[in-house]
Amino acid sequence: MTTQNVTIPALSGGSFSAYLAAPSSQPCAGIVLIQEILGVNNTMRQIADDYAKAGYFVIVPDLYWRLEPNVQLDADDKDQWAKAIELLGAFDVDSGVKDLKATLSFLRQYPSSTGKVGSVGFCMGGKLAYFMATRTDADANVSYYGVDIDKNLAEATKIQKPLILHLSGNDEFVSPSAQATIQQGLKDNPLVTIYRYEGVSHGFSRVGSSAYRKEAAELAGDRTLAFLKQHLG
């Protein structure tokens, strides 16, 4: 496996950086890995490395580049978490989706890519993974504890490719009523699979954090890898 930082031209002009992890054996499919509100930090790079070891090109774009490039924050540091919430409030979702579209194109055209590319996103990135399903032609998409999906269900009719939603049973940012709305709104869509993990909070898959819950994280991880293998190869 090799890693490097690459530069991606933005659709609206300018460019942004991304962390790219490439597997040893190629050609292979790709994954656009979508950051939490914490930026492209060690956690995101480690997840990218793990997916690369599983045989995928993985790219993590810096979606905060318009606000502040190279943000790397820790969820368990109170001041850094406050900064993350501040960045989230200033983040423009539509611009972020355009950057993800540019990243998707970049990875599809990357040397030794099979052209099949999916997305996996966490937290804010979980919401954006849902938008990857509704607004792009990504081949498969996985959302971990995505926020505000309940407010964007009108877009669900545009889903053309398979989507997994991993929901945290005790998510402090996605209320039980919001989760019920999501499940009710998507239950008849054959492309959408929803998994709910009881007794865990937001961020349960964030290794090394206080929110991490090994059993749920490993189950969600196994389901995700099987899903990606099925739809990306």
Average pLDDT over the chain, rounded to an integer: 97
How far apart CA 59 and CA 30 sit, in angstroms, is 8
Q: Give counts: helices (H), strands (E), the chain.
A: 6, 8
Across residues 3-21, what is the average pLDDT? 96
Supply the pTM of this predicted model. Answer: 0.97
pLDDT at 85: 95
Confidence of residue 33 (pLDDT cuts 50, 70, 90): very high
Domain boundaries, the chain: 2-232
pLDDT at 32: 98
pLDDT at 190: 97
Largest pairwise CA distance in the chain: 45
Residue 85's H or E segment, with its range, is helix 78-90
**Which entry of 50, 74, 202, 231 is annotated as an active-site residue?**
202
**Which entry of 50, 139, 171, 222 is annotated as an active-site residue?**
171
Confidence of residue 178 (pLDDT cuts 50, 70, 90): very high
Q: Which residues of 145-183 are buried (b: 16+ CB within 10 A; e: fewer)?
A: bbbebbebeeebeebeebbbbbbbeebebbeeebbebbe
Please tell me the CATH superfamily of domain 2-232, with its number: Alpha/Beta hydrolase fold, catalytic domain (3.40.50.1820)
CA within 13 Å, CB half, 46 = 7
Concerning whether 188 is annotated as a catalytic residue, the answer is no
How far apart CA 215 and CA 205 sit, in angstroms, is 9
Instruction: Write out pLDDT tens, residues 124-172.
Output: 999 999 999 999 999 999 999 999 999 999 999 999 999 999 999 999 9
Confidence of residue 220 (pLDDT cuts 50, 70, 90): very high
How far apart CA 188 and CA 20 sit, in angstroms, is 36
Q: What percent of the chain has pLDDT above 90?
A: 98
Q: How far, rounded to the nearest angstrom, does the alpha carbon of residue 93 sit from its chain's CA centroid?
A: 13
pLDDT at 77: 95
DSSP-derived secondary structure letter, 69: T
Instruction: Write out pLDDT tens, residues 51-109.
Output: 999 999 999 999 999 999 999 999 999 999 999 999 999 999 999 999 999 999 999 99
Concerning whether 74 is annotated as a catalytic residue, the answer is no
